Amino acid sequence: MKIKEIIVVEGRDDTTAIRRAVDADTIETNGSAVSEETLLKIKHAQEKRGVIIFTDPDYPGERIRKIVSDNVPGCKHAFITKQNALPKNGKGIGVEHASPPVIQEALKEAHVMNEYHAEEISMDDLIDAGLIGGRKAKARRERLGELLRIGYTNGKQLHKRLMMFEIKQEEFAEAINTILQEDTDA
């Protein structure tokens, strides 16, 4: 599988994992302190071939994703779940631990997060669905991120992420119904 866009990853091990899964070029941020020089490279890559941001499903990865997307508009985003980013020994988390099929699927599903949208899902909807506050909120947000392919977010960022991906009320309701059904099955 050949990827036209250049993939932004955190480090060398991520590049190795990407290249095991697909034929692609990468730009490494070398940690969460993304340099001006790296941002210029990413901007150039976006102009020439397009960019897919593919960072770890953790706080530093989300921080890098935000820095890059704030400075380089129009990038696509690829996500994997924390479960798919765990190594066999259970220590650490990252793209470098994901299997080639997981990486391929995430890149195939990569899409642009839009800044401008019509609001359909309210904060009240999130509270009513048990996604903000409550003992199962974090687990429900994680599962929602998987089902809608928008990645994990904390409660504060969830609404923004839903709007950026233009998730419709119908998609949201379907995902919430799945989560609630899984809760009762457990």
> Any idea where the domains of the chain sit in the sequence?
6-112, 123-185
Digit-by-digit pLDDT tens for the chain (186 residues) are: 899 999 999 999 999 999 999 999 999 998 778 999 999 999 999 999 999 999 999 889 989 998 999 999 999 999 998 888 888 777 788 999 999 999 999 999 898 876 544 457 888 889 999 999 888 999 999 999 999 988 888 888 898 888 888 888 889 999 999 998 888 776
Q: State how far the Cα of 156 lies from the Cα of 102, in Å rounded to an integer.
A: 28
Which CATH number, 3.40.50.140, 3.90.1150.10, 3.30.565.10, 2.40.30.110, labels domain 6-112?
3.40.50.140
> Per DSSP, what are the bridge partners of residue 147?
none
Q: State how far the Cα of 143 lies from the Cα of 139, in Å rounded to an integer.
A: 6
Handedness of CA 9, 27, 50, 108 (dihedral sign): negative
Q: Taking CA 113 as the corner, what is the angle to CA 126 and CA 161, rounded to the nearest 5 degrees? A: 20
Question: Is 21 in contact with 103 (CB distance < 8 Å)?
Answer: yes
Q: How many CB atoms lie within 10 A of CB 127?
A: 14
The continuous run of DSSP H or E covering 155 comes out as: helix 155-164
- Spatial CB neighbours of 17, under 8 Å, sequence gap ≥ 6: 95, 96, 97, 98, 100, 103
Q: Please write the tens of the pLDDT for every residue from 92-118.
A: 889 999 999 999 999 998 988 765 444
Q: What percent of the chain has pLDDT over 70?
A: 96
| Closest-CA residue to 159 (of 130, 131, 128) | 131
> Which token pair is 38?
């790296």
Q: State how far the Cα of 104 lies from the Cα of 69, in Å rounded to an integer.
A: 22
Which amino acid is residue 20, in one-letter code? R
Mean pLDDT (the chain, rounded): 89
Q: First and final CA of the chain: distance in angstroms?
A: 37
> Per DSSP, what are the bridge partners of residue 76?
52, 112
